[in-house]
Amino acid sequence: KGTVGATEVDGFTPLHVAAGAGHAAVVVRLLQASAAVDATDAEGWTPLHFAAQHGRDAVVERLLEAKGTVGATEVDGFTPLHVAAGAGHAAVVVRLLLANAAVNATDRKRIHTALHVAAYHGHDAVVARLLQGRAAVDATDAEERTPLQIAANRGHAAVVVRLLLANAAVDATDTDGWTPLHYAAARGHAIVTDRLLRANAAVDAVDADGCTPLHIAAQTGCTSVVDGLLRANAAVDAADTNGCT
């Protein structure tokens, strides 16, 4: 007879495999045969993590009905909600939130919430669902970066706009004193720069070294961002802590 809880070298059980592949009928049969719903692999992933990563909404539903732990954490502290948010699976995110997943849970290393993760990957629909689920729009990570700073750094204009509409702090600063506008300027994201300026971002905000977004854009050579900042009346002669303009 086959063993329902048999594991591979990496700790995968048949339930992990079926959950990741989206085989809802097999998942139900394994659960009826007393498969461990919260079995973990070598990285601490449960079947619910696998189903969430691959967007298997029907499987997520079955696992939750079988009392799968919605807030289970793998070795780095990521929950199924983090995983679904990072993969862009909005329907799974909604289902997990309806099952009372902790919307502001953080991982252990970067201290990212699911909103940080969705913002990083530019998943606008997921960001919308998380905000509807009362995610903290200005949650800060290990470097005191908000989801807006992360989205600005990555150039995800639609996410930036959505966060701003949710009253994200447009001039939030991280441990280096960088605002979202500094990040957009550094990466040459002209559209994001424009959206931030339209939201009244401080055009001459200074970081820990006294650098404004214009300093940063000039250093990276992005003329479109420089032009946008100058049109917004950035101080062209502002000096940093070394006296450089």
Based on the fold, state whether residues 116 and 16 are members of the same structural domain: yes
Compute the distance between CA of residue 207 and CA of residue 219 in angstroms, rounded to an integer.
14
* Same domain assignment for residues 170 and 222: yes
Q: What pLDDT, on the 0 to 100 scale, is given for residue 5?
A: 58
- 47 and 110, same domain (yes or no): yes
Q: Are 132 and 147 within one domain?
A: no
For residue 7, what pLDDT is reported?
Answer: 59
Query: Tokens standing for 54?
Result: 């691959």
User: How confident is the model at residue 244, as a pLDDT?
Assistant: 75
CB neighbour class for 78 (10 Å; exposed up to 12, middle 13-18, buried from 19): buried
Q: Which of 136, 167, 202 is the last residue of a domain?
A: 136
pLDDT value for 210: 96
CATH number of the domain within which 66 lies: 1.25.40.20
pTM score, whole prediction = 0.94
Structural domains in the chain (count): 2
Walk along the chain (245 residues) and give the pLDDT tens digit of each residue: 455 555 555 889 999 999 999 999 999 999 999 999 999 999 999 999 999 999 999 999 999 999 999 999 999 999 999 999 999 999 999 999 999 999 999 999 999 999 999 999 999 999 999 999 999 999 999 999 999 999 999 999 999 999 999 999 999 999 999 999 999 999 999 999 999 999 999 999 999 999 999 999 999 898 999 999 999 999 998 988 888 77
Residues 20 and 124 in one domain: yes
Q: Give the SS3 label for residue 123.
A: coil
Q: What is the extent of the structural domain holding 239?
A: 142-245
DSSP one-letter string for 164-228: HHTT--TT---TT---HHHHHHHHT-HHHHHHHHHTT--TT---TTS--HHHHHHHHT-HHHHHH
Residues 124 and 205 in one domain: no
C-alpha dist (Å) from residue 80 to 32, 173, 213: 22, 29, 37
| Residue among 136, 116, 127 nearest 89 (CA) | 127
165 and 129 in a single domain? The answer is no
